[in-house]
Amino acid sequence: MTVNGIFVSPERSARIDWVDYAKGICIVMVVMMHSVLGVEAAAGQTGFMNHFVTYAKPFRMPDFFLISGLFLAVVIDRDWRTYLDRKVVHFAYFYLLWVTIQFGFKAPGFAAEAGWRHVGLLYLEAFIEPFGTLWFIYLLPICFVVTKLSRRVPPMAVWLVAAALEIAHVATGWTVIDEFCARFVYFYSGYILAGYVFALSDRARAKPSLALVGLALWALFNGGIVWSGFSEWPLVSLALGLAGAGAIVVMATLLSRTQWLGFLRYCGEHSIVIYLAFFLPMAATRTLLLRSGLIPDVGLVSLIVTVAGVAGAVAIWRLALALRANFLFERPDAFWIVPKRPAPALQPAE
């Protein structure tokens, strides 16, 4: 099978190993960000984990969006009914379900502050303004639809517009608008540059020593720009995002080549599980540790909360399967517009 002109060999099996490693790195960084910032906000001080969050900011979400668009060429020519089922209804189901679950945990606190009527309005608002940590799966369907609608537009024209939106650093205050402008260029880059991304991975796998040198240079470059305070500048942010996404691809390829840090691959294989459920163990562990005062170091608390967020999400998923509550993480047949078919040789990064 080919992806944007690059042949993907059959021996890569049902999943492409480095893609799962890349998704695993990204989802761990996302959990880390929410965990660290949440702990620091509650504690009123920062810890050593803040340095990792700051360092990863330029490439954390760009790589997630690039990977999400990587396999789009395989499915974009499907009829609209099938496409919308797989790329819109799929995420809409999980958003509706999990925004309700998250809201259920937070509703009593909202009601104590402003009353239950206000809680109802906040819940309705969540379908316009994404709630909490769920904005990513709210935005992905929009990216899929926009990309298919622009199918007949020259790719370079679309990319230049997307790049201009990122460079503009749009700040309307609406999450969907602002994040779309900031992230669509990376999603679209994954789509139109998939062949180059696979080629980069193949080169890294063939020449690991050279890849390591490249990663070291990137790490110094990214750190230098971040700590100098220039990472948010127009054009600079775009360059750092693309460079960082490429670095994660190389890093993931090297890890898959050696089969090191297998837990990252596992996290990548179950990234949607972790993304949906990490908020609960994260918040519970944060509250427990900060209220108990057992660990005075904010950085260490942040690290523990990050681990608890990832491990706890997997534990919730396992418990759901054991209790036959698969609907929490798997879309039931009743919510499929087009019947499921056997999985293709290539798995989308979803």
What is the 8-class DSSP label of residue 326?
G
Compute the average pLDDT of residues 264-290: 96
Q: What is the mean pLDDT of the chain?
A: 92
Compute the average pLDDT of residues 157-183: 97
- C-alpha span between 33 and 103 (Å, rounded): 21
pLDDT at 264: 97
CA angle (287, 288, 293) in 5-degree steps: 105
Token digits for 108?
């009593």
pLDDT at 4: 45
Residue 346: inside a domain: no
pLDDT at 116: 84
Of 6-20, 209-223, 238-252, the least confident: 6-20
Residue/partner pairs of 47-55 with CB below 8 Å, 24 or more apart:
47/297, 47/298, 47/299, 47/300, 47/301, 47/302, 48/299, 49/299, 49/302, 49/303, 49/306, 50/299, 50/302, 54/226, 55/222, 55/223, 55/226
Compute the average pLDDT of residues 147-171: 97
Residue 193: inside a domain: yes
Q: Is the pLDDT of residue 281 over 70?
A: yes
pLDDT at 112: 84
When pLDDT is cut at 50, 70 and 90, the band that residue 14 belongs to is very low
Compute the average pLDDT of residues 12-24: 80
Report the phi/psi class of residue 235: left, alpha or beta, with left for phi > 0 and alpha for psi in -120 to 50. left
What is the 8-class DSSP label of residue 328?
G
Q: Is the pLDDT of residue 291 over 70?
A: yes
For 67, the 3-state DSSP assignment is helix
Of 85-89, 99-103, 119-123, 220-224, the least confident: 119-123
**How many angstroms separate the Cα of 274 from the Cα of each of 24, 134, 226, 263?**
10, 12, 28, 13
pLDDT at 8: 45
- Of 350 and 250, which is predicted with more confidence? 250
Q: Largest Cα–Cα distance of the chain, in whole Å?
A: 61
pLDDT at 113: 85
Residue 194: inside a domain: yes
- Of 342 and 58, which is predicted with more confidence? 58
pLDDT at 15: 63
Compute the average pLDDT of residues 215-244: 97
CA angle (49, 62, 309) in 5-degree steps: 40
Compute the average pLDDT of residues 15-44: 95
Identity (one letter) of the amino acid at 98?
W
Which residues neighbour 229 within 8 Å (Cβ) at sequence distance 6 or greater? Answer: none
pLDDT at 110: 85
Nearest CA-CA partner of 256 in 3, 25, 4: 25
Residue 314: inside a domain: no
**How many angstroms separate the Cα of 158 from the Cα of each of 154, 161, 192?**
7, 5, 10
When pLDDT is cut at 50, 70 and 90, the band that residue 286 belongs to is very high
**How many angstroms separate the Cα of 127 from the Cα of each of 138, 192, 238?**
9, 30, 29
**How many angstroms separate the Cα of 137 from the Cα of each of 144, 183, 211, 241, 244?**
11, 13, 32, 20, 22
Domain extent, residue 159, equals: 2-31+60-277
For 7, the 3-state DSSP assignment is strand
Total domain count, the chain: 1
pLDDT tens column, 320-335 = 999 999 999 999 999 9
When pLDDT is cut at 50, 70 and 90, the band that residue 12 belongs to is very low
Cβ count near 180 (within 10 Å): 18
Contact 45, 302 (CB under 8 A): no
Compute the average pLDDT of residues 146-162: 97
Q: Is the pLDDT of residue 5 over 60?
A: no
pLDDT at 95: 97
* Residues above pLDDT 90, as percent of the chain: 86
Q: Is the pLDDT of residue 166 over 70?
A: yes
Q: Is the pLDDT of residue 71 over 70?
A: yes
What is the 8-class DSSP label of residue 44?
T
* Three-class secondary structure assignment of 103-151: HHHHHHHHHHHHCHHHHHHHHHHCCCCCCHHHHHHHHHHHHHHHHHHCC
pLDDT at 236: 98
DSSP run (H or E) holding 277: helix 271-277
Residue 310: inside a domain: no
